[in-house]
Structure formats: C-alpha cells, structure tokens
Structure 1
Amino acid sequence: MADINTVANKEGWLYKKSTNTVVKKWLHRYFKLTNCKLIYYHSETDHRQRGIFDFNQITVLSINSTMQKFEICIEFIGSDYTLRLRAHNTEELADWVLALNMNIGCSLGMRKELSSVIQKEKFWRYQRISDFFFRRHANTGDLLLFRSKGIIAKMQRGITRGSFDHIALIMCYASGKVILLEATDKDGVACLEWDYFVKMNWHLMYLGLVYRSLETMRTDNMIKNLENFVMKVDGKKFGISPGKFIGKKNEVEPGEEDTFFCSELVASAYKAMGVFPSDLKSSTIWPADFMDAKKLPLINATLGPEMMIDFDL
C-alpha cells in the first residue's frame, strides 16, 4: 500500500488553462503539489515559481474531472476564476484528482471560507505572506523588492524587462527591529524602520512588496562587514548617470562609491558581505536582476522564492 505522503505529494507535466485570463490556449506547465499548495513552473528545471494556488489561503468550491478529456476543473469561492488542468491519460488524471482532493481536504480553506486573496488581481502570481510572517522570518541580508505605481516606474520596468523598479536591503536586530537600507532620489542612502514604514501606510504607495530571503551561512565576519558598510554609506547622496555604466570591472571598494541608486547599493552591500564577487561593478545591477529568472553571481548563497507581503492576511 502506498504511503500517504507519496500519494498526496505529486509532480509532473499538465496542460493548464484559466477561464478569465488573456491567454485562452492550453499551456504545458510542470506542476508540484505538496503541503496544500499547487505550484507550477515553465519547466522541470525552472527554479522560478510561475504561479501558486495555496489552498490554505483560498477555498475550493468544487473540483470535477472528465475522464474522456482527462480534464480537471477547479472552481473557487469568491471569484469567477476557474482553473482547468489536463492530464495525458486516465491513470495520471486519477492520480492528480486523488492528490488534489487530499491536499484540499486537509487545508485551512476547507475548514474556513476564505475569499480575500482570490479577489486580488493575479492572486496566483506570488506566494502571499502576512506582515507578521515577514517580521518573524526576515533576516539580515534579505531583500525587499518594490513594484511602484506611476508611469515612470512602469517605463523603468519595461526597459529592464522586470517586475520591480526599486529594492531595499533588510537588516534585523536582536531588539526585533526590522530596518530597510535603501537609496532613494528624495533621501539618498538612509535606514528606515519597517514599523514606521507601515505606520505611515507607505506600503499603500506600491502595487506590491515582494520579499526574498538570502539563503547563506551568516558568519560574524559577514555581519561585521555589513555593519561597517552601512556606517560608510549612510547619508550619501542618490546618484545615477551614464558614467556609472561604463566598463564592467569594479574600481572602488564597497561603500566607497560617491553616490548610489537602489540596486547599486544592494549589490555593493552584497560585495561587502562576500556574497557577490569583489570585482563586480555594482552599478551594472538593476532591481530586475534580483528576479528568480536572472542568474546573479552569488557566492555560496541562493535567493528564496518571491513572496508578496499581503497586509490583509
């Protein structure tokens, strides 16, 4: 008899179609189902989540299957969004239906009617976390990516072919304080308390805030180097000019730059920590480069998945 975890945890190729999206054709995607979450990727080797259905945050209204077409149709409470999946044969269909029912059946969405997440635009795009989760799990060196409102920010995202136009480095202290180190055209390089950021409702100025953890062994020397870096850069002016993009090799030590723009500051901080190579020119890094699809020159480190902070959770 198969182990219950073997049955409930499943991965493989499926065709996917959503009823109320621009793309109406069937798309071939690689799916992983585990811990009440259905996640899909462009390929088996793709490390970036392209979509996620967290059954602990949404409530399934119905799940039906059609043997003749090998199809699964999932409807949700609180939305007219319908997810349609197609397997390759009846055996695969039966396995997926069983695994889905097991994951949905033990989810929070099964015990409680949840509809706030599914009503949001492209709710499936990111794993959503609460502000409480963010505060509990944030660590020094983690990242916060910003998707700003406004035409200029939209143009920047278009030019860099990314989803984000601003980035900050997270620093955490024993007191529980979470600090954002960032460079803005208004204030230059500054440290901002997360408590104050939320209290002032500045999160409402953005279309989304996405958290990414830095997965690495944090040594005392690494943290000390970052602290020294912050002391050097705090108060420096914001600056972005064509001269910053000439050449590919680094010419100054981390923190010795005269001015910074946001992603240059983070890249320079990563160099100080030793997770970026010392000869990297920090000004060649853009916020969009910190997306999963990009290959950053990380040293003995990786970045965790993109997780959107949802202040309604």
Structure 2
Amino acid sequence: MSQRIPINIFCWQQSIPLYRLKYYYSWRLRIASYYQQEGFTETHLSHMEGMILKKSPHRIQGWQQIWVECSDNRLVYYLPDNRNTPFGIIDFNIMTYSIQRIIDQHGNLIEFFSTQWFQKNFIFKAKTSLETQKWFNAVSECWKDSEGAKRILQSLNKYPKFWRTDRISYEQFSKVGEAGDILLFRGRGINCQIQRGLTGSEYDHAAILLRFQSGPLYMLEATGYFGVGLCSWKDIIENRWFELYEKIMIRRLDIDRDHQFIRTVQEFVNENMGKKYQFQPIQMLKNNRSVQQINNQTNRQQRTFFCSEMIVALYKKLGIFDQRNSFGPFLPGDLSSLNRGFNVLEGKLHPEQLIDFSDI
C-alpha cells in the first residue's frame, strides 16, 4: 500500500598563501561511514532510478526522456546518451523546494513537480499513473528528511541555472567527507593562472582529504612552501582561506574504508610528511612518468612530489589505481572526471561536486 502523501507541500521562503601549516598529530584515522553521520541513517534513505519524462521549459520541445537517479536527498537527471555528466541536480539539502502533484479527474496522479520561490519548475511524469505515483513517493521520501525541508535555504538563488552544477554545501561536506576523497582547486592568483596555462589544466592544485579519529577534517597536500604537510579545515574556514580559490571541488571515493584501508593511509602520511615539492611542467611533460616510477624511486628519502602525483601515489599504495593503463604526467586536471583514463579498480570515484561556502 502506498504511503499517503499530502497533495501540496508548501515551503515559504524569505525572499594567505602562507596558510599551509604542518600539523603533527597522531595518525590514527577515524573509520567513519556515511550512514553513521548525524541525520543520515540507511532507513531514512530511498533509492530509485530509471527512465522518465521531464517537461522542457521550451514549448517546442515538450516532454523529453531523461535518466533519473533519486537517492541521498537528491534527484539527479541525465540525458539518455550521457549518463556520466548530470544535466541537472535537484539537491534538497542545499535548497528549499516544495513538491506538488497534479491529478486527473479520476484521481490518478499524472504529473508531479518540484519548485522553489522564483518559480522555476521541474515537472516529471512516467509512462503510467502507477509509475508516476511510485516516483512521486520516492522523491517525497528523499525530500522529507532533507535539510531544505527542515529550514529555509536560498543561497543558490543568486546563481543562474544553479541546477546545472553539482554542488555540496560545506555543512554536508563536513559530514560526508572521508579519508581518500580528492580535492581539486582553482586558484585566483596570477601564479595559479600561469600554472594552468602551462599545463592546460582546469585546476592548479590537488589534495587528499583526511578525517582523524576525533572527527575533524584535514587535507594532505604538497606545496612549494612546506612540501608535503597537513592543513586543518577548521583553520581554512575560520581564516576564510577558501576565498583564495575560484572553486574547490570534491571527488568522493565510495569504498569500504576497513582497518587495512585506514592503516595504509596512515602509513602513507607517516612516510611522506615533509617530503619536498617539485613542479617542473616541461620536464613532467617530457618524462611522462608512470605510477610505478613515482613510487619506486630508489631513494625514498629524496622523493619529491607534485600535488597531484602524491594522490596517484596514495591510490597506488592502496591498490585501487589502474597502474597498467595509466601514465603521466599527473596534473591536477587529470584527476577530474573528464579524464576517462583515471579510474579506480575498487569502489567508485564520483564526479566532482562544487563545495558551496555561501552560508559561511
């Protein structure tokens, strides 16, 4: 029997470059699971995916077939011929929406839509009324325990077509970020622009996310000033160092973080803290170093890292990187989802999400 859902759900809305410090703490990393975070338990989540119809805002196009995935308080839709890149993301955790349904004269559900205050509607339906009802139930389940259902969130309204970019609020990032997730940075400074120009990369810096046993988030990075070191996300927020970047992206690694995984990350951190940083783009492009070459340098004490090479080295040590089919140079942009040659052998590496600091 289908769960009873109200016809209308209305939600009223009112309209330091030298910051890279080393942190010498114990290297016991917390084994944390997404579903153990506060407010996120498996029983609260629903999952549904499949092909349905979405009404285009352009009358001439009418209804378009799309692939939809509904889970984790999000509804993500793709064009049928490209399921690697989302065409739209409705994230109930970072924006307040209302969910409404349209019924025919016989009481059958024929359409449902999600909307917010500036009257952008996302209208969907399935091939049959029964299937449409199932989708409406699933979307409502995703919506009802989301952050946007509990309080008014409107920070994304200032961005045109914000639903085209996959975002994650800093609050959510601080809850779900885990050891091994990849961070990609696009800096504002002239040096960052020069580096991107030399490398032809979308990003100019990369780092690995870490979470300690006590819970706080850190990132392990290789920089020209400090070499390989740690930086606290608490300090990044308090000092607003995130404003040094045009954008910071996260690629979440979906994998079983068992005791062996955590121990391997711990060993990697211990082995490489303080290692020197080296960025020689011309030499990197000529050498075309492989993953094996990065990790099998004869003198480990003299090993140098470019920021993105360090991430590849960690994934190799974890045994989850495809060494045989992967070759350098390993630049920050090569770690993005656009590079089909950067894959993991175990788990899933999700596409980038833009970390949204609007509410900070």
Q: TM-score, normalised by structure 1?
A: 0.72
SS of structure 2 residue aligned to 1:183: strand
* 1:188-222, Cα deviation, whole Å (9 max, x unpaired): 43322222222221111223322233324441652
In structure 2, the residue matched to 1:207 is 246
Question: CA separation in 2, counterparts of 1:35 and 1:170?
Answer: 21
**Paired residues for 1:270-285 under 5 Å:** 270-277=315-322, 283-285=328-330
User: Taking structure 1 as reference, are residues 16 and 169 closer, same or farther at Cα in structure 2, changes over 3 Å only?
Assistant: farther
Partner of 1:191: 230
**Which consecutive unaligned segments of at least 5 residues does structure 1 have?**
none
Question: 1:177 and 1:62, CA in 2 relative to 1: closer, same or farther beyond 3 A?
Answer: closer
Q: Distance in 2 between matches of 1:251 and 1:90?
A: 57
Specify every segment of 5 or more residues in structure 2 that has no aligned partner in the other structure, as ranges. Answer: 5-43, 105-109
Contact 2:250–2:355 (Cα < 8 Å) also in 1? yes
In the alignment, is residue 290 of structure 1 matched against residue 330 of structure 2? no
- Distance, in Å, in 1 between the alignment partners of 2:269 and 2:139 is 49
Distance in 2 (alpha carbons) for counterparts of 1:76 and 1:221: 45
Which deviations, in whole Å up to 9, do the C-alpha atoms of 1:18-66 show, x marking residues without a partner? 58xxxx9976431123454221124488355443212343333575769
Structure 2 CA distance for aligned equivalents of residues 26 and 161 of structure 1 = 37
Q: CA 1:186/1:41 → structure 2, altered by over 3 Å: closer, same or farther?
A: farther
Structure 1 residue 146: Cα displacement: 1.9
For residue 106 of structure 1, the aligned residue among 144, 147, 152 is: 144
Give the match for residue 90 of structure 2.
53
Q: Give the whole-Å Cα distance in 2 for the aligned partners of 1:244 and 1:81.
A: 47
Alignment map for 1:68-107 (pairs within 5 Å): 74-77=114-117, 79=118, 81-85=120-124, 87=125, 89=127, 91=129, 94-95=132-133, 98-99=136-137, 102-103=140-141, 106=144
Taking the aligned partners of 2:221 and 2:199, their CA distance within structure 1 comes to 21
* Structure 2 SS opposite 1:268: helix
Q: Does 1:123 align with 2:162?
A: yes
2:278 pairs, out of 205, 223, 238, with 238
Q: Give the CA deviation at 1:74.
A: 4.4
SS in 1 for 2:162: coil
- Contact 1:166/1:263, CA 8 A, preserved across alignment: yes
Partner of 2:271: 229
Q: CA deviation at 1:230?
A: 1.8
Question: Which residue identity is paired with 2:265?
Answer: I
Q: Quick check: 1:289–1:296 contact (8 Å CA) kept in 2?
A: yes
Tell me the residue number matched to 2:16: none
- Kindly indicate whether structure 1 or structure 2 has the higher relative contact order, using CA contacts under 8 Å at least 6 residues apart: 2
Distance in 2 between residues matched to 1:262 and 1:241, nearest whole Å: 12
Equivalenced residues, count: 300
Q: TM-score, normalised by structure 2?
A: 0.64
Alpha-carbon offset, residue 141 of structure 1? 2.0
Structure 2 residue 83 is the aligned partner of structure 1 residue 38: no
Tell me the amino acid that sits aligned with residue 251 of structure 2: R
Code of the residue aligned with 1:106 in structure 2: it is: K
SS at match of 1:174: coil
What percent of counterpart residues are identical? 23
Query: Does the residue aligned with 2:209 lie in a helix, a strand or coil?
Result: strand
Q: Distance in 1 between matches of 2:144 and 2:175?
A: 25
Residue matched to 1:166 = 205
1:92–1:248: structure 2 CA closer, same or farther, 3 Å change rule? farther
Quote the residue 2:30 is aligned against: none
Over aligned residue pairs, what C-alpha RMSD do you find? 4.2
The aligned counterpart of 1:262 is 307
Q: Is the 8 A contact 1:75 1:81 kept in 2?
A: yes
Look up the SS of the partner of 1:30 in the other structure.
Answer: strand
Tell whether the 8 Å contact from 1:179 to 1:194 is kept in structure 2 after alignment: yes
Mapped partners of 1:206, 1:144: distance in 2: 12
Is residue 94–residue 169 contact of structure 2 (8 Å, CA) maintained in 1?
A: no
Confirm whether residue 156 of structure 1 aligns to residue 196 of structure 2. yes
Q: In structure 1, the residue corresponding to 2:234 is in which secondary structure?
A: helix
| 1:100 Cα deviation from its structure 2 partner | 7.3
CA change 1:237–1:285 in 2 (3 A) is closer
- Higher mean alpha-carbon deviation, 46-55 vs 196-205, is at 46-55
Q: What SS does structure 2 have at the residue aligned with 1:284?
A: coil
